[in-house]
Chain A
Protein backbone atom coordinates (compact mmCIF):
# COMPACT_ATOMS: atom_id res chain seq x y z
CA UNK A 1 0.00 0.00 0.00
CA UNK A 2 1.25 3.44 -0.76
CA UNK A 3 1.97 5.98 1.93
CA UNK A 4 -0.74 8.36 0.74
CA UNK A 5 -3.61 5.90 1.28
CA UNK A 6 -2.36 4.92 4.73
CA UNK A 7 -2.01 8.47 6.02
CA UNK A 8 -5.71 9.47 6.34
CA UNK A 9 -6.48 6.21 8.10
CA UNK A 10 -3.61 6.72 10.51
CA UNK A 11 -4.76 10.28 11.16
CA UNK A 12 -8.26 9.07 11.94
CA UNK A 13 -6.99 6.35 14.25
CA UNK A 14 -4.72 8.77 16.03
CA UNK A 15 -7.58 11.24 16.52
CA UNK A 16 -9.75 8.52 17.99
CA UNK A 17 -7.01 7.42 20.38
CA UNK A 18 -6.46 11.00 21.52
CA UNK A 19 -10.17 11.56 22.00
CA UNK A 20 -10.56 8.42 24.09
CA UNK A 21 -7.51 9.35 26.15
CA UNK A 22 -8.89 12.83 26.74
CA UNK A 23 -12.25 11.48 27.85
CA UNK A 24 -10.87 8.82 30.18
CA UNK A 25 -8.31 11.14 31.73
CA UNK A 26 -11.05 13.69 32.30
CA UNK A 27 -12.97 11.02 34.19
CA UNK A 28 -9.86 10.09 36.15
CA UNK A 29 -9.47 13.74 37.06
CA UNK A 30 -13.06 13.84 38.30
CA UNK A 31 -12.86 15.26 41.75
CA UNK A 32 -13.96 12.21 43.72
CA UNK A 33 -11.12 10.24 45.26
CA UNK A 34 -13.19 7.57 46.95
CA UNK A 35 -15.10 4.56 45.68
CA UNK A 36 -18.81 4.43 46.57
CA UNK A 37 -18.97 3.50 50.24
CA UNK A 38 -20.19 0.19 51.57
CA UNK A 39 -23.40 1.15 53.42
CA UNK A 40 -22.25 -0.72 56.52
CA UNK A 41 -18.96 1.18 56.46
CA UNK A 42 -20.82 4.49 56.25
CA UNK A 43 -23.14 3.41 59.05
CA UNK A 44 -20.56 2.01 61.44
CA UNK A 45 -17.42 3.99 60.67
CA UNK A 46 -18.66 7.53 60.20
CA UNK A 47 -20.40 8.31 63.48
CA UNK A 48 -17.39 9.85 65.21
CA UNK A 49 -15.37 10.97 62.20
CA UNK A 50 -15.88 11.20 58.46
CA UNK A 51 -15.87 7.98 56.48
CA UNK A 52 -12.19 7.86 55.60
CA UNK A 53 -11.30 6.91 52.05
CA UNK A 54 -10.34 3.21 51.96
CA UNK A 55 -7.79 3.84 49.23
CA UNK A 56 -5.81 6.13 51.49
CA UNK A 57 -4.37 3.33 53.62
CA UNK A 58 -2.64 0.09 52.63
CA UNK A 59 -4.45 -3.17 53.40
CA UNK A 60 -2.09 -4.02 56.26
CA UNK A 61 -3.08 -0.84 58.08
CA UNK A 62 -6.79 -1.52 57.69
CA UNK A 63 -6.37 -5.11 58.85
CA UNK A 64 -4.54 -4.03 61.97
CA UNK A 65 -7.12 -1.37 62.70
CA UNK A 66 -10.09 -3.71 62.24
CA UNK A 67 -8.42 -6.20 64.55
CA UNK A 68 -8.12 -3.73 67.40
CA UNK A 69 -11.36 -1.77 67.33
CA UNK A 70 -11.71 -1.84 71.09
CA UNK A 71 -8.54 0.26 71.21
CA UNK A 72 -9.29 2.60 68.36
CA UNK A 73 -7.16 5.71 68.77
CA UNK A 74 -8.11 6.06 72.40
CA UNK A 75 -11.69 4.84 72.28
CA UNK A 76 -13.71 1.65 72.17
CA UNK A 77 -15.14 1.26 68.68
CA UNK A 78 -15.84 -2.46 68.98
CA UNK A 79 -18.32 -4.10 66.64
CA UNK A 80 -20.08 -7.43 66.24
CA UNK A 81 -18.03 -10.04 64.40
CA UNK A 82 -20.21 -10.20 61.32
CA UNK A 83 -19.88 -6.47 60.76
CA UNK A 84 -16.12 -6.59 61.33
CA UNK A 85 -15.81 -9.34 58.72
CA UNK A 86 -17.95 -7.55 56.17
CA UNK A 87 -16.23 -4.19 56.56
CA UNK A 88 -12.73 -5.71 56.68
CA UNK A 89 -13.37 -7.59 53.46
CA UNK A 90 -14.52 -4.48 51.67
CA UNK A 91 -11.62 -2.39 52.99
CA UNK A 92 -9.10 -4.96 51.83
CA UNK A 93 -10.46 -4.82 48.29
CA UNK A 94 -10.27 -1.04 48.09
CA UNK A 95 -7.17 -0.45 50.19
CA UNK A 96 -4.10 1.28 48.86
CA UNK A 97 -5.73 2.48 45.65
CA UNK A 98 -5.11 6.19 46.26
CA UNK A 99 -2.15 7.00 44.08
CA UNK A 100 0.10 8.28 46.80
CA UNK A 101 -0.28 5.40 49.23
CA UNK A 102 2.90 3.44 49.76
CA UNK A 103 4.00 2.44 53.25
CA UNK A 104 1.93 1.87 56.35
CA UNK A 105 1.97 5.23 58.14
CA UNK A 106 2.81 5.60 61.85
CA UNK A 107 -0.07 4.33 64.01
CA UNK A 108 -1.87 3.59 60.76
CA UNK A 109 -2.94 7.21 60.68
CA UNK A 110 -3.78 8.71 57.29
CA UNK A 111 -2.83 12.07 58.77
CA UNK A 112 0.71 10.83 59.44
CA UNK A 113 1.24 9.63 55.87
CA UNK A 114 4.11 11.30 54.06
CA UNK A 115 1.78 12.50 51.30
CA UNK A 116 -0.68 13.98 53.78
CA UNK A 117 2.01 15.88 55.64
CA UNK A 118 3.41 17.18 52.39
CA UNK A 119 0.01 18.34 51.15
CA UNK A 120 -0.64 20.20 54.41
CA UNK A 121 2.95 21.37 54.95
CA UNK A 122 2.03 25.06 54.97
CA UNK A 123 -0.26 24.71 57.98
CA UNK A 124 1.31 25.44 61.35
CA UNK A 125 0.34 23.82 64.61
CA UNK A 126 -1.96 26.72 65.66
CA UNK A 127 -4.21 25.98 62.69
CA UNK A 128 -4.73 22.38 63.78
CA UNK A 129 -5.43 23.55 67.32
CA UNK A 130 -8.28 25.89 66.34
CA UNK A 131 -11.49 24.97 68.14
CA UNK A 132 -13.23 24.67 64.79
CA UNK A 133 -10.64 22.14 63.61
CA UNK A 134 -9.41 20.31 66.72
CA UNK A 135 -7.52 17.56 64.91
CA UNK A 136 -6.09 16.69 61.53
CA UNK A 137 -8.66 13.90 61.40
CA UNK A 138 -11.40 16.50 61.15
CA UNK A 139 -11.13 16.83 57.39
CA UNK A 140 -14.53 18.50 57.06
CA UNK A 141 -13.33 21.55 59.00
CA UNK A 142 -11.82 22.73 55.71
CA UNK A 143 -12.76 20.12 53.12
CA UNK A 144 -16.51 20.47 52.95
CA UNK A 145 -16.71 17.72 50.33
CA UNK A 146 -14.81 15.26 52.52
CA UNK A 147 -17.77 12.99 53.19
CA UNK A 148 -18.13 12.60 49.42
CA UNK A 149 -14.47 11.83 48.93
CA UNK A 150 -13.79 15.28 47.46
CA UNK A 151 -10.67 16.94 48.77
CA UNK A 152 -9.31 19.07 45.95
CA UNK A 153 -9.17 22.86 46.00
CA UNK A 154 -12.26 23.22 43.81
CA UNK A 155 -14.50 21.03 45.94
CA UNK A 156 -15.64 23.37 48.68
CA UNK A 157 -12.36 24.15 50.41
CA UNK A 158 -13.08 26.70 53.10
CA UNK A 159 -11.34 28.58 55.88
CA UNK A 160 -12.13 27.12 59.30
CA UNK A 161 -13.74 29.48 61.78
CA UNK A 162 -11.23 31.57 63.70
CA UNK A 163 -8.45 31.24 61.13
CA UNK A 164 -5.95 34.07 61.32
CA UNK A 165 -5.70 36.22 58.15
CA UNK A 166 -2.05 35.47 57.57
CA UNK A 167 -2.79 31.78 56.97
CA UNK A 168 -5.35 32.42 54.30
CA UNK A 169 -2.91 32.36 51.42
CA UNK A 170 -1.87 28.84 52.41
CA UNK A 171 -5.24 27.62 51.27
CA UNK A 172 -4.36 27.59 47.61
CA UNK A 173 -1.82 25.15 46.26
Chain B
Protein backbone atom coordinates (compact mmCIF):
# COMPACT_ATOMS: atom_id res chain seq x y z
CA UNK B 1 0.00 0.00 0.00
CA UNK B 2 2.79 2.36 0.98
CA UNK B 3 4.72 1.52 -2.21
CA UNK B 4 1.64 2.15 -4.31
CA UNK B 5 1.15 5.57 -2.72
CA UNK B 6 4.78 6.55 -3.37
CA UNK B 7 4.56 5.32 -6.93
CA UNK B 8 1.36 7.18 -7.67
CA UNK B 9 2.82 10.32 -6.13
CA UNK B 10 5.88 9.90 -8.35
CA UNK B 11 3.70 9.43 -11.38
CA UNK B 12 1.65 12.51 -10.57
CA UNK B 13 4.81 14.58 -10.15
CA UNK B 14 6.23 13.24 -13.38
CA UNK B 15 2.99 13.96 -15.14
CA UNK B 16 2.95 17.49 -13.76
CA UNK B 17 6.53 18.05 -14.87
CA UNK B 18 5.77 16.75 -18.30
CA UNK B 19 2.37 18.43 -18.58
CA UNK B 20 3.34 20.84 -21.36
CA UNK B 21 4.14 17.76 -23.37
CA UNK B 22 0.81 16.20 -22.51
CA UNK B 23 -0.81 18.02 -25.41
CA UNK B 24 1.50 16.52 -27.99
CA UNK B 25 0.26 13.02 -28.57
CA UNK B 26 0.85 10.59 -31.38
CA UNK B 27 -1.83 9.74 -33.94
CA UNK B 28 -1.77 6.18 -32.60
CA UNK B 29 -2.58 7.48 -29.13
CA UNK B 30 -5.48 9.52 -30.47
CA UNK B 31 -6.76 6.45 -32.29
CA UNK B 32 -6.56 4.48 -29.07
CA UNK B 33 -8.61 7.19 -27.40
CA UNK B 34 -11.34 7.12 -30.03
CA UNK B 35 -11.40 3.32 -30.10
CA UNK B 36 -11.80 3.24 -26.34
CA UNK B 37 -14.69 5.68 -26.57
CA UNK B 38 -16.26 3.69 -29.36
CA UNK B 39 -15.94 0.47 -27.40
CA UNK B 40 -15.10 -1.44 -30.59
CA UNK B 41 -12.06 -1.88 -32.85
CA UNK B 42 -11.68 0.59 -35.69
CA UNK B 43 -12.28 -0.51 -39.28
CA UNK B 44 -10.04 1.26 -41.81
CA UNK B 45 -12.11 0.19 -44.82
CA UNK B 46 -15.20 1.77 -43.27
CA UNK B 47 -13.11 4.88 -42.61
CA UNK B 48 -12.09 5.12 -46.26
CA UNK B 49 -15.70 4.70 -47.32
CA UNK B 50 -16.86 7.46 -44.99
CA UNK B 51 -14.06 9.76 -46.13
CA UNK B 52 -14.64 9.45 -49.85
CA UNK B 53 -18.41 9.54 -50.13
CA UNK B 54 -20.86 12.40 -49.81
CA UNK B 55 -23.37 12.31 -47.01
CA UNK B 56 -26.30 14.23 -48.40
CA UNK B 57 -24.45 17.53 -48.65
CA UNK B 58 -22.25 19.23 -51.18
CA UNK B 59 -18.86 17.99 -49.99
CA UNK B 60 -17.17 14.80 -48.92
CA UNK B 61 -14.00 14.83 -46.78
CA UNK B 62 -12.16 14.07 -50.00
CA UNK B 63 -13.50 17.24 -51.63
CA UNK B 64 -10.80 19.19 -49.80
CA UNK B 65 -8.41 16.51 -48.58
CA UNK B 66 -8.33 14.39 -51.72
CA UNK B 67 -9.35 10.76 -52.13
CA UNK B 68 -5.86 9.75 -51.04
CA UNK B 69 -4.62 12.36 -48.55
CA UNK B 70 -0.93 11.50 -48.93
CA UNK B 71 -0.37 14.67 -50.92
CA UNK B 72 -1.51 18.27 -50.54
CA UNK B 73 -5.23 18.81 -50.73
CA UNK B 74 -7.00 21.91 -51.99
CA UNK B 75 -9.92 23.73 -50.40
CA UNK B 76 -13.01 23.12 -52.50
CA UNK B 77 -14.06 26.79 -52.64
CA UNK B 78 -10.98 28.88 -51.88
CA UNK B 79 -8.34 26.76 -53.59
CA UNK B 80 -6.08 27.10 -50.55
CA UNK B 81 -3.49 24.35 -50.26
CA UNK B 82 -4.07 21.94 -47.38
CA UNK B 83 -1.23 19.82 -46.00
CA UNK B 84 -1.62 16.03 -46.31
CA UNK B 85 -3.86 14.42 -43.71
CA UNK B 86 -2.15 11.02 -43.56
CA UNK B 87 0.29 11.13 -40.59
CA UNK B 88 3.01 9.28 -42.53
CA UNK B 89 3.11 12.22 -44.93
CA UNK B 90 2.61 15.03 -42.45
CA UNK B 91 4.35 14.85 -39.05
CA UNK B 92 1.99 17.45 -37.58
CA UNK B 93 -1.22 15.62 -38.39
CA UNK B 94 -3.20 14.32 -35.40
CA UNK B 95 -0.67 15.39 -32.79
CA UNK B 96 -2.89 17.89 -30.99
CA UNK B 97 -6.15 16.44 -29.65
CA UNK B 98 -7.82 19.84 -29.29
CA UNK B 99 -7.03 20.63 -32.90
CA UNK B 100 -8.25 17.23 -34.04
CA UNK B 101 -11.52 17.66 -32.21
CA UNK B 102 -11.99 21.18 -33.55
CA UNK B 103 -11.62 20.05 -37.15
CA UNK B 104 -13.80 16.98 -36.67
CA UNK B 105 -16.49 19.22 -35.19
CA UNK B 106 -16.42 21.68 -38.04
CA UNK B 107 -15.87 19.37 -40.94
CA UNK B 108 -18.32 16.65 -39.90
CA UNK B 109 -20.89 19.42 -39.62
CA UNK B 110 -20.06 20.58 -43.12
CA UNK B 111 -19.97 17.11 -44.67
CA UNK B 112 -22.59 15.26 -42.65
CA UNK B 113 -24.61 17.97 -40.92
CA UNK B 114 -23.89 16.45 -37.52
CA UNK B 115 -21.06 15.46 -35.21
CA UNK B 116 -19.09 12.34 -36.06
CA UNK B 117 -19.34 9.49 -33.60
CA UNK B 118 -16.26 8.13 -31.84
CA UNK B 119 -16.23 5.02 -34.03
CA UNK B 120 -16.45 7.12 -37.19
CA UNK B 121 -13.48 9.17 -36.03
CA UNK B 122 -11.64 5.96 -35.13
CA UNK B 123 -12.39 4.43 -38.53
CA UNK B 124 -11.14 7.47 -40.42
CA UNK B 125 -7.96 7.81 -38.36
CA UNK B 126 -7.29 4.08 -38.59
CA UNK B 127 -7.57 4.30 -42.38
CA UNK B 128 -5.29 7.33 -42.55
CA UNK B 129 -2.71 5.43 -40.51
CA UNK B 130 -2.68 2.62 -43.08
CA UNK B 131 -1.43 5.06 -45.73
CA UNK B 132 2.35 4.60 -45.73
CA UNK B 133 5.16 5.58 -48.04
Residues of A within 8 A of B (CB): 47-50, 70, 73-80, 132-135, 137-138, 140-141
Separation in Å of the A46 CB from the closest CB of chain B? 8
Separation in Å of the A8 CB from the closest CB of chain B? 60
Separation in Å of the A111 CB from the closest CB of chain B? 11
Residue of B nearest to A69 (CB): B106
Q: For chains A and B in complex, what number of residue pairs have CB atoms within 8 angstroms?
A: 41
CB of B5 within 8 A of chain A? no
Separation in Å of the B101 CB from the closest CB of chain A? 10
CB of B6 within 8 A of chain A? no
- The reply to whether A135 and B106 form a contact with Cβ atoms under 8 Å apart is no
- The reply to whether B77 and A134 form a contact with Cβ atoms under 8 Å apart is yes
Candidates B79, B82, B105; contact of A133 at CB < 8 Å: B79
C-alpha gap A135/B75 in the complex (Å): 11
Separation in Å of the A133 CB from the closest CB of chain B? 7
A-B contact pairs, 8 of them (CB 8 A): A48-B78, A73-B77, A80-B102, A132-B79, A134-B78, A138-B78, A138-B80, A141-B79
Separation in Å of the B115 CB from the closest CB of chain A? 11
CB of B72 within 8 A of chain A? no
Task: List residues 64-106 of chain B with CB under 8 A from any CB of chain A.
Answer: 75, 77-80, 82, 102, 105-106
Known contacts: A75-B110, A76-B110. The answer to whether A135 contacts B77 by CB under 8 A is yes
Q: Which residues of A contact B106 (CB under 8 A)?
A: 75-78
C-alpha gap A128/B130 in the complex (Å): 38
Q: Which residues of B contact A49 (CB under 8 A)?
A: 75, 78, 80
- The reply to whether A134 and B110 form a contact with Cβ atoms under 8 Å apart is no
Q: Which residues of A contact B105 (CB under 8 A)?
A: 76, 78
CB of B117 within 8 A of chain A? no
